[in-house]
Each structure stands twice: as C-alpha cells, then as structure tokens.
C-alpha cells in the first residue's frame, strides 16, 4: 500500500509518500515548505499568515513529492491528511485540499490525528522491530507535552500533560525573553552547548513523587526575572541562562517518562515531536532507558521530529490497511481533536 500524507497543522506545509508492506515502512519522498523565515519577523506563528502560505505552497509541495518519489497519482492508494489538532485555518487548507483530491481522483481518504503521527514517526527506524506493548510515548512539541500509555496502535490513554505552557512554547518564549530568534528551541540548544547548566538554579515544577503532569510557566517566569537583573547581557551570560533553562526543562521530561514506564510496566518508550530533536533530551532518555530492565527505546530520525507529511502518511497507512477511511463529504478539520479515546 502506498499513501500520500499531507500535514498543515501549524506553520509548515509538508507532504510525504510512504509504502507500507508486511508491517514495514519505506519512505519514498518527503518535501516540506518551511515558513520559519516568514514567522521570524513576528517572533512566532501568525495563524492567518500560516494559512495563506499553506494555500500558496500546498499544490507545488504535493507535485514535488510525487516527482521525488517518481510516482503518478495512479500509484497512490490513499490520501492521509492531518485533521487535528492544530490551528484551524491551517488545518482547513490541508483538509480541503485532501477532500478535493479525493473527490476528483476517487482516492480513499484517511483523517489522521497529528499526535498519532508523532507517535508513529519513529516506526520507520531500524529499531522499530523492537517496539512492543505496552508502551509509553513522550510527545513534546510547540503545542503539546504529553505522556501517553499505549496498549496497541489506536489504543491510547493520556497519563500526563502540561498544566500550562508546553515545553516547546517555553523554549520559544524563553528565547524571546533573551532576544534570540524564532524558533527558540534550536537556538537555545545551540547556546546551551556553550554554557554552564549549573550557573542558575531554576525550578522543576511538579516533581513530587507520583505526579506525571508538567508545568513550564514558572520556569519561564524565573528566567524572565533573572534576565531582568542583567540589563547588559554578555554572550557568556546568555549561554549560561540557556544551559540552566534547558536542563530545568528537560529533567522533568526524562524523570516522569521513567516514572510512567515503571508504573505502566512499559516494554517500549517512544519519543516524538519537535523537541525530540534536542540532543540532550535524546541522550538523557537513552541513558535513562539503559538503566531499566527489558525496556527498549525508539526515537524518530531528526528529519521526522518536526511536523512532516511522512508521519501522517505512516499513521494513515496503518489506518488504511484497517479500512479506517473517511468519505470526503464527512472529512472535517477539528483543531481540538484529542488523541485519547481513538479506537
């Protein structure tokens, strides 16, 4: 089965084509039209601007993905599209494009939850053969910080979430406080690699035993107050602030993933989302899992951490194999679509 996936939940227009056979994925193409330079002018994503750029780039991106895969539409068995969660105006561009193509080309459509896409983004890696259930997934992105208990594909239960800012938002807002460019995550990680993570003692919220929830508003505020004390901030000071912030942001993610894995007797820990590209988070989780008996760890390739069409095609392919289609008149965008409760 060959599936084309469309992703327009936020600020990147991305299309991927994957072939799914005997439980294995082969990525045939991935094309993304980034809007980073556009939104950098505003210091963050502007929904209306994102939607306009999606509308301008989606058809050229689809065409480029087909060309890169050397495929015609006749080779595509199904079209998968992110239906939610995300920015409503951005989602609508992808959904309406998929509806139109499905109708005109008579291709079955699969509505994919964006978070499920991140869950399966690591399943194309060589380590995917080691995935066993139950599993715990840590999904960390600009809008989501969640721990999900998984007993099988499509069987999810939310067991931990942020009570305020997502960790990706905290990275972006902290970068803005320090005068660093958008997006904040890569820039803070770069500066943190040169800094001292012990230079400032920032709070790690909700670390009491038993809690699997997260909170990042207090950490962001602590960085703001510390930054305000230093009107003339040297590069060394900014590096130390970034390193101390990053450590305080990542420690709860690693520790609470460990707690969740122990509590749920997980056999696999899965990482996904844009913040999954952070090298310190990846190495920290690897070290943590190494100390757990009979637990495997899978993480996405760096190219599949950010929002991308490949992960949507992958999740769509599994659902298409189960005939979990949505007729084009019923396909709708749902910006608040919760992953939990899916069948």
Structure tokens at 313: 């095609």
Q: With CA atoms as reference, report the closest residue to 276 among 44, 54, 88, 120.
A: 120
Q: Please write the tens of the pLDDT for every residue from 72-89.
A: 999 999 999 999 999 999
- Phi and psi dihedrals of 156, rounded to 5? -125, 145
CB 235 within 8 A of CB 276: no
What's residue 127's pLDDT? 67
Q: How far is CA 320 from CA 2, 72, 77, 84, in A?
A: 10, 19, 9, 18
The maximal CA–CA distance of the chain, rounded, in angstroms, is: 62
pLDDT given for residue 342 in this prediction = 45
The model's pLDDT over 210-236, given as tens digits with 9 standing for 90+, comes to: 899 999 999 999 999 999 998 768 999
Determine the topology of domain 2-119+304-330 in CATH.
Nucleotidyltransferase; domain 5 (3.30.420)
pLDDT of 343 above 50: no
The Cα–Cα gap between 310 and 26 comes to: 10
Rounded to the nearest 10 degrees, the angle between the axes of helix 217-228 and helix 235-263 is 160
What pLDDT digit, counting tens, does each position of 182-198 carry? 999 999 999 999 999 99
Cα(120)–Cα(131) distance, integer angstroms? 11
As a whole number of angstroms, the distance between CA 318 and CA 20 comes to 8
333 token code pair: 């965008």
Query: 131-299 belongs to which CATH class?
Result: alpha beta
Backbone dihedral angles phi then psi of residue 15, each to the nearest 5 degrees: -135, 135
Between CA 1 and CA 319 the distance in angstroms is 11
Q: Per residue in 142-196, pLDDT tens?
A: 889 999 999 999 999 999 999 999 999 999 999 999 999 999 999 999 999 999 9
Q: Across the chain, what does the average pLDDT equal?
A: 94
- In the chain, DSSP finds a helix count (H) and a strand count (E) of 10, 10
pLDDT in tens, 51-67: 999 999 999 999 999 99
Same-fold call for 2-119+304-330 versus 131-299: yes
- Annotated domain spans of the chain: 2-119+304-330, 131-299
Is 275 a residue whose pLDDT tops 80?
yes
């Amino acid at each position: 089965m060959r599936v084309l996936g469309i992703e327009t939940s936020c600020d990147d227009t991305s299309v991927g084509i994957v072939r799914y056979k005997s439980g294995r994925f082969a990525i045939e193409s991935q094309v993304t039209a980034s809007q980073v330079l556009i939104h950098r002018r505003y210091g963050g994503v502007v929904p209306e601007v994102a939607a306009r750029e999606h509308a301008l780039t989606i058809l050229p991106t689809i065409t480029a993905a087909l060309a890169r895969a050397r495929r015609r539409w006749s080779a595509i068995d199904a079209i998968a599209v992110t239906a939610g969660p995300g920015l409503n105006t951005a989602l609508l561009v992808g959904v309406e494009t998929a509806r139109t193509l499905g109708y005109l080309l008579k291709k079955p459509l699969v509505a994919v939850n964006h978070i499920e896409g991140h869950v399966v983004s690591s399943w194309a890696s060589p380590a995917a053969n080691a995935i066993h259930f139950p599993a715990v997934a840590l999904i960390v992105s600009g809008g989501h910080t969640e721990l999900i208990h998984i007993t099988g594909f499509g069987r999810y239960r939310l067991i931990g979430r942020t009570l305020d800012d997502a960790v990706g938002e905290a990275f972006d807002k902290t970068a803005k406080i320090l005068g660093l460019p958008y997006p904040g995550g890569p820039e803070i990680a770069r500066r943190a690699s040169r800094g001292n993570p012990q230079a400032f003692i920032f709070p790690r919220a909700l670390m009491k035993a038993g809690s699997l929830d997260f909170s990042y508003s207090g950490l962001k505020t602590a960085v703001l107050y510390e930054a305000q004390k230093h009107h003339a901030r040297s590069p060394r000071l900014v590096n130390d602030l970034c390193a101390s912030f990053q450590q305080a942001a990542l420690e709860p993610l690693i520790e609470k993933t460990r707690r969740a894995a122990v509590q749920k007797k997980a056999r696999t820990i899965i990482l996904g989302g844009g913040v999954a590209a952070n090298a310190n988070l990846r190495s920290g989780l690897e070290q943590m899992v190494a100390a757990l008996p009979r637990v495997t760890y899978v993480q996405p390739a760096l190219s599949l951490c950010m929002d991308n069409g490949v992960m949507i095609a992958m999740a769509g392919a599994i659902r298409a194999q189960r005939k979990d289609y949505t007729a084009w008149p019923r396909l709708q965008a749902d910006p608040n679509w919760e992953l939990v409760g899916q069948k």
